[in-house]
Amino acid sequence: MKHRIRRIVLTIFSLALLLTLCSGMGGKPLDADDMTAVSKVSISNKEVVSQNRPIIVTFSEAMVKPDAVDKPVPEKDMPFRISPALKGDGRWLTEKSFSFASSGGYPRGKQYFVIFKDNLRSLDKKPVRYFFSFRTQAVSVKNVWPNPYDEAKKEISLLMSFNLPVTAESLREHLTIRDAASDETLEYNLRDMQRDASEHEILIRTDALRPKLALSIALDGDSDRTSLGFAKAYEDKDFQDAMKKLNIPAMYMTGEDFAKEAKLGYEDSTRILKAMGLMQN
């Protein structure tokens, strides 16, 4: 509900801003000859940005004198403001081009508005009326694979892959694993499994043996959690555990039958079936 309200507010804000920018001061329309145009922007309007690219804006007319070029510009003197705010380095590359580079990178899964200030003028005193928005790429779950039951460690494991790099430390603050039947929260361990630059995987281990596991990843929200960058919450309410991977033909079986199918000892097989509630009397 909170996120729906936020989207409505952003939509109203965008429409109001557009109406304001289409008019001059006091609501009087501005002629193109009376304005300074934004002739080029390094990030296109509504573009999805996946890397820390600087925002470079080129104007049609000189905005500053030559002695202002290549000097740090305080945030209050920048030609535009960014919402939500970003800290970084702003400076004039030429008399007509301004660059802003975010010092901490763009947080994932967020939308930004770049709004040019009302009092912005060229050296010829011509105003600028312009704004654009861009969105940063969000993290998403690509797949979840169950691994066979680990007899030595007495645990099952799941391999979760993402479209972007995610650390076990940041995921731990967002991930919840529950018993799908009882809704009981289960303990687990995480391990980073990135083998090369193109694979972003984390291994999830738990000794809580259940027929079905429910996985959920919460949004950043207003908490103190480390930012993960999901655009929407992830939830799999009916995830099959190691039983599915083992391809057991019968849902209920004896310890001996299970031992043959899973290639486990009788005691371990009996313990697993009892824990999962699948033990045949």
Question: Do 153 and 217 share a domain, yes or no?
Answer: yes
Pairing of strands 131-136, 141-146: unpaired
- The 10s digit of each residue's pLDDT in 31-46 is 556 678 888 999 988 8
Question: Do 168 and 148 share a domain, yes or no?
Answer: yes
* pLDDT-flagged residues of the chain (< 70): 1-34, 148-149, 194-199, 211, 221-226, 237-281
Query: Domain tally for the chain?
Result: 3
Q: What is the CATH number of the domain that holds 26?
A: 2.60.40.3710
Question: Do 192 and 277 share a domain, yes or no?
Answer: no
State residue 94's pLDDT score.
Answer: 97
Question: Do 68 and 167 share a domain, yes or no?
Answer: no
- The 10s digit of each residue's pLDDT in 142-189 is 888 777 667 777 787 888 888 888 888 889 888 998 887 788 898 999
Q: Is 97 helix (H, G, I), strand (E, B) or coil?
A: strand
The H-assigned helical ranges of the chain are 2-21, 168-172, 242-245, 255-262, 266-276
117, 136, 155 - which closes a domain: 136
Q: What is the CATH number of the domain that holds 169?
A: 2.60.40
Question: Do 264 and 230 share a domain, yes or no?
Answer: no
Question: Do 97 and 147 share a domain, yes or no?
Answer: no
Question: Do 226 and 268 share a domain, yes or no?
Answer: no
Tokens linked to 131? 């704004």
CA dihedral 104, 106, 107, 112 (to 10 degrees): 130
Question: Do 98 and 82 share a domain, yes or no?
Answer: yes
The H-assigned helical ranges of 63-211 are 168-172
Contact 214, 238 (CB under 8 A): yes
Return the bridge partners of 107, or none. none
State residue 110's pLDDT score.
Answer: 87
Q: Running DSSP on this structure, what letter comes out for residue 1?
A: -
Question: Do 215 and 256 share a domain, yes or no?
Answer: no
Tokens linked to 38? 């934004």
236-to-11, 184, 240 alpha-carbon distances in Å: 30, 15, 10
Domain of residue 124 covers 2-136
State residue 44's pLDDT score.
Answer: 85
State residue 255's pLDDT score.
Answer: 52
Question: Do 102 and 15 share a domain, yes or no?
Answer: yes
Question: Do 166 and 100 share a domain, yes or no?
Answer: no
Q: Which of 143, 160, 155 is nearest to 187 (CA)?
A: 155
Question: Do 161 and 229 share a domain, yes or no?
Answer: yes
State residue 7's pLDDT score.
Answer: 52
